[in-house]
Amino acid sequence: MSDPKTVGLAAPWTTLYKMIYVMFKEDPEVVVDYVDEDGIKNIKIRVSNLEKAEAIEKILPSSRVYGNITVYITVIPPNGLTADMTSVYEAAFKGNPALSYVHTSDNKGLFTMNYVVFKNKVVQFFNDELDDINGLRSTLYQDIANEIFENRDGVCFCTDVPEDEKAVGAPLGEWP
């Protein structure tokens, strides 16, 4: 946002963010952020109480339009996901051998991390790649997921590591 000491006109979406921020700034269970990614404006409201998150989501609009600018308002419940994205990914990949598993990790109630873990397999497909003599693109499922999937708030894509290669408890730098 801008420097509060600077006098000037605020864009209406900036004012909307500030109004929502002020409304919840003293609530220890709510954090309000403004994100502008590639011109897409989003007010993200992270709530550590599920009941409160559902209530806030019901009383705030999901978006507000100002001329040709749309500002999205996203309420993120304590599991870190909007619309329970882990179950969405599980449903989307049910029976697909590319998926290894989906995991949710709770970090002592502070925040939750959600992982969609793909098989540890190099995927190749013809793509007229000039850096490959055969015109192939070689990548991992994880990399493809990072490029093509949207609505990933709170979801990390990973590649599975075979059990015999996991460095559980190994000091840094001692990956087998």
What is the tens place of the pLDDT at every residue in 53-77?
Answer: 888 888 888 899 999 999 999 988 8
The whole-number pLDDT of residue 72 equals: 93
Q: Given pLDDT bands bounded at 50, 70 and 90, which one contains residue 164?
A: low
* pLDDT value at 93 more than 70: yes
**At residue 174, does pLDDT exceed 70?**
no
CA distance 142 to 160: 9
Q: How many CB atoms lie within 10 A of CB 138?
A: 14
**pLDDT-derived band of residue 176, with 50, 70 and 90 as boundaries?**
very low
Distance CA 148, CA 155 (A): 14
Asked if 89 and 116 touch (Cβ cutoff 8 Å), the reply is: yes
Element containing residue 136 per DSSP (H, E):
strand 136-140
pLDDT at 83: 43
Residues 74 and 81: beta-carbon distance below 8 Å: no
Span 144-152, average pLDDT? 77
Average pLDDT over all residues of the chain: 79
pLDDT tens digits for 9-62?
Answer: 778 888 888 888 888 888 888 899 999 988 899 999 988 888 788 888 888 888
Q: In which band, very low, low, confident or very high, does the pLDDT at 80 lie, cut at 50, 70 and 90?
A: low
What is the CA angle 62-85-94, rounded to 5? Answer: 140
Of 33, 41, 45, the closest CA to residue 68 belongs to 41
Average pLDDT estimate for 111-133:
81
- Which of 82-86, 137-141, 161-165, 169-173 shows the lowest mean pLDDT across its residues? 169-173
